[in-house]
Structure 1
Amino acid sequence: MNLLAAASRGFALGILLLATSWASAFQIGPLGTQHEERLTNEPNSTLARIAGTLGVLIKTPVHEEITHLGKWCGGEHINLATDTYCSGRDVGVASPYVIYGVRWNDLPPFRLEEGQGNCDYMGHRNVCKPQTIRFSTQPACWHCLFKDAERKARTKAIVGCNKTANSIQGNLMTRSHFGDLQFLHGMAHAADIHPVDTRAEILDWLEFAWKVSSKEILPSTYLKNIDNPTIQRHFGCTEWKVVDLYLLGRQDSASGLIHQIRDIAFGSVLHTVQDSFAAAHAEREPQPGAEQCEGSAFVSPAPIVEFHSYGAQDGALHDHDDSREAMTAVAQDRWPEAVQVTRNLFELQSDGAKWADASSYLQCVFTLSERRRSSSPGETYRRIDKP
């Protein structure tokens, strides 16, 4: 990510803006692990230096911490609010490949189609380079595309395969945050979507990712050939393979990533599930369930009342409930549900569970409440547009 020195001030301001407005899922840190940095051959030094100069950390690594806690990183729930040991960049309890996968849903690598790269940022034109884009390597381009999509998503649908008169072509990142792939974050892609439909998309995605993690789907498989309605609908028009989806730019054997794609896909499963416990993403019943999930050894979490949609949400309000503070709020009484469910999924993975074994529990995790209702921004998070 070689930025011109003359752009440093503008980029620094952009980082500050990003710090206050980036609508992620449960928050992730801006930098990957040192292991991830080595594997992707994409140093984070410039981004780290600028963020450090400002004294700004774009986000706290909440997803990473939940994942390490789910792998039984040390500590007790009663001390979780103040014990941040498991939130470090290089804790090393969960595999770095799982952490890479947990971060993938927010930061998938992508390339721009012809005509998509003319993004103007802080007075600088065409800031996107014709190569694989990651936040760590092209942060100005990434932020420019993100903010541009945030604006356009207010009036048009951002899609991949299903183009309509009122839609625009998105890339993997903008589709994930604002478009047709919001199920990656346990959310509906628009308002007034029936929860049964959103749940079906989420479970289809979890089936796909779990099958990659259990070797039931191989990295060389074309997405268009996978018998899965959601994968067909959103990726069936592409020539992408599974390995392209997860590892674009580093699909080569030498990087080592392709040999660990099972852990990467499992990390992506964790991200989607964890997000469904973030209040800005989905409303669940106030109390967790007390019954055992049918066909599983685990207790049912609180049922889902509503999947929220991001398009009409206020980004700052959304971010507040994706924070570490929100995640740890219940820790005096018990582990947060996101942590407990992550532990259960790690147990299934360590037992070598195939999708047929894991599906019963994941369906239970996404049980709908009897009070279920169609998607909305959620009254707590609704954006009030100025006249």
Structure 2
Amino acid sequence: MVSVTMASIPFAVSILLAFFQSASSFDIEGPWDINTPVHETLTLSSLMHSTFGVDSSYTVDGAPLDIKEFFRGDMWNDDPECQMFDEKDDDNWNFSSGTVWLSKFLAGQLGDYDEGNLIGRSHFWDLQFFHSMGAALGEQPDDTRAKIMLWLEVAYKISIEEGINGTDAIGSVPVTSVVNETTSYRLADFFTATSTPRSTDSLDTLFTCSTQYQGVDIRRRAIGSCLHIVQDSFAKGHTRRELLNPEDLVAGSNRTEFVAGKYAELGAVENFHSYVDQGSAHADADHWDAGWPAMDPAEPTSFDRLWGARMAQEKGVQLLDFWQAGTAWGGGVEDWLLDEVFSLSPDATPSDNTV
């Protein structure tokens, strides 16, 4: 893929890039190599250090196509219509211009709710739980967590083939995530007879966009989607968590910089943010600064600069260890997610748009 600069591309495309750079959680690379691929590098690092294991010399762009299936799954949460890629039967890493993705994103940002716009729904409306965020200001934290756990259970079970597979209709998936005695969620609550995709469409359609790519692996894409949610849950623009080591902060750094050898050790969730009206503060909080040393997937300490990234890498390793072992959802995965990743603070508050 050819790298470009803002000066070398048409004005219309530069507008697209500016919007795309403001839209990500932890950054993904995207069309035109416009971002540092934080999500993909975190996933690659977690793969390297997990029991799955990949070659420590791999890079995001240089990894084999079968490893990129994990990256495609991780990127899916930001691109659930697969509009960042052009279709090829022998390539899953063929980036598109991104113009269709942008139009869908802008429609979500500027327009009314549209159940046919999956990109808009995942960034601005009811599917913000794809990013560990609340669907709207004021959403209760246990409600947000229940939606997150619904998606994680479905995707994880697909990834280990635990009673759910790609040919199943979306609306027929029996998984139910309970909030309380009166409220629970199923996929059928979010995918209906009139949504895109529909409740009668297959999970393959949902997770792979009916791709032409011959090497597609829904198991890897599904666990990649799980990794994205876990990673985002430690991103400052997505959640506020208890800081367990405030004594390691650099004095006067506005709670963003830690002394050498330390990083943000984060505990229970205090708030699931909502993307609406966060503006540029969201991207600023989750962006890899150009002046920082490059991330090295073989060296976890290289992630220490970005708030939450080191813990995202570590939790990714643990999740992949469960996946590689084929551990059942009820055999420890669910409890680990509830206790170690999505534990709620006793003082957790309804969703807000702070960063």
For Structure 1 versus Structure 2, the TM-score category normalised by the shorter chain is 0.7 to 0.9
8 Å contact from structure 1 (residues 304, 368) kept in 2:
yes
**Aligned counterpart for 2:146 among listed residues 200, 215, 218:** 200
Contact kept? 1:195, 1:306, Cα under 8 Å: yes
**SS, match of residue 249 in structure 1:** coil
TM-score (norm 2): 0.73
1:370 shift after superposition: 1.4
TM-aligned CA deviation for residue 198 of structure 1: 0.2
Change (3 A) 1:277 1:92: farther
Q: Deviations over 1:331-360 (max 9, x none)?
A: 699981101100101111111112112111
Instruction: Measure how far apart 1:265 and its partner are.
Output: 0.3
1:110 offset after TM fit, Å?
A: 6.1
Say yes or no: does 1:109 pair with 2:75.
no
1:89 aligns with 2:61: yes
Measured at CA, do residues 68 and 92 of structure 1 come closer, stay the same or move farther in structure 2, by a change above 3 Å? farther
Cα 1:101/1:333, change in 2 over 3 Å: closer
Do the aligned partners of 2:104 and 2:117 also contact (CA within 8 Å) in 1? no
- 1:13-37 CA deviation, whole Å, 9 max, x = no partner? 323423553x112110015xxxxxx
How far residue 186 of structure 1 moved from its aligned partner, in angstroms, is 0.4
Counterpart of 2:188? 232
Q: Tell me if the contact between 1:65 and 1:86 (Cα under 8 Å) persists in the aligned partners.
A: no
Structure 1 counterpart of 2:276, one-letter code: G
Equivalence for 2:277: 312
Counterpart check, 1:337 vs 2:338: no
Residues 359, 334 of structure 1: alpha-carbon distance in 2 compared, 3 angstrom cutoff? closer
Q: Which residue of 2 aligns with 1:241?
A: 202
Q: Deviations over 1:291-323 (max 9, x none)?
A: xxxxxxxxx961000000001211x21111112
Closer/same/farther in 2, CA of residues 246 and 334 from structure 1, 3 Å limit: closer
Q: How many angstroms apart in 2 are the aligned matches of 1:269 and 1:20?
A: 22
Instruction: Please list the CA deviations of residues 167-204 of structure 1 after superposition, one character each: whole Å capped at 9, or x if unmatched.
Output: x4341111111111110000001000000000000001
Distance 2:119 2:309 in 1: 31
2:95 corresponding residue in structure 1: 136
Deviation at 1:73, TM superposition (A): 5.8
Q: 1:218 aligns with which of 140, 165, 168?
A: 165
For 2:308 and 2:136, the matched residues in 1 are separated by 33
Q: For residues 26 and 321 of structure 1, do their structure 2 counterparts lie closer, same or farther at Cα, with a shift above 3 Å needed? A: same
4+ residue stretches of structure 1 with deviation over 3 A?
A: 85-88, 91-94, 134-138, 325-335
Q: CA deviation at 1:137?
A: 3.3
Give yes or no for contact 2:44–2:60 (8 Å, CA) kept in 1.
no
* Structure 2 residue identity aligned to 1:24: S
Amino acid corresponding to residue 11 of structure 1 in structure 2: A
Closer, same or farther: CA 141–95 of 1 in aligned 2, 3 Å:
closer
The aligned amino acid for 2:168 is: T
The alignment status of 1:370 with 2:346, answered yes or no, reads: yes
Show the counterpart of 1:11: 12
Gaps of 5+ in 2: 1-8, 51-56, 84-92, 176-184, 246-264, 296-301
**One-letter code aligned to 2:47:** K
Task: State the number of aligned residues.
Answer: 287
- Secondary structure, aligned partner of 1:359: helix
User: 1:90-129, CA deviations, whole angstroms, 9 ceiling, x for partnerless residues?
Assistant: 2459922111111111112269xxxxxxxxxxxxxxxxxx
For 2:141 and 2:123, the matched residues in 1 are separated by 19
Identity of aligned residues (%): 30
Name which of 83, 91, 110 aligns with 1:151. Answer: 110
> For residues 313 and 135 of structure 1, what CA distance do their matches in structure 2 show?
31
Equivalent residue number for residue 179 of structure 2:
none
RMSD: 3.1
Match of 1:286 in 2: 243
1:209 aligned residue (155, 160, 166): 155
| Letter in structure 2 aligned against 1:15 | L
Contact 1:30–1:58, Cα closer than 8 Å, also in 2: yes
| Contact 2:105-2:120 at 8 Å conserved across structures | yes
Q: Is the 8 A contact 1:61 1:87 kept in 2?
A: no
Distance 2:21 2:157 in 1: 37
Given residue 14 of structure 2, which amino acid in structure 1 is its aligned partner? L
Segments of 5+ residues of structure 1 without an aligned counterpart are: 1-7, 32-50, 52-56, 75-84, 112-133, 159-167, 289-299, 381-387
C-alpha change, 1:147 and 1:338, in structure 2 (3 Å) is same
2:271 is paired with a residue of what secondary structure? strand
Contact 2:270–2:344 at 8 Å: present in 1 too?
yes
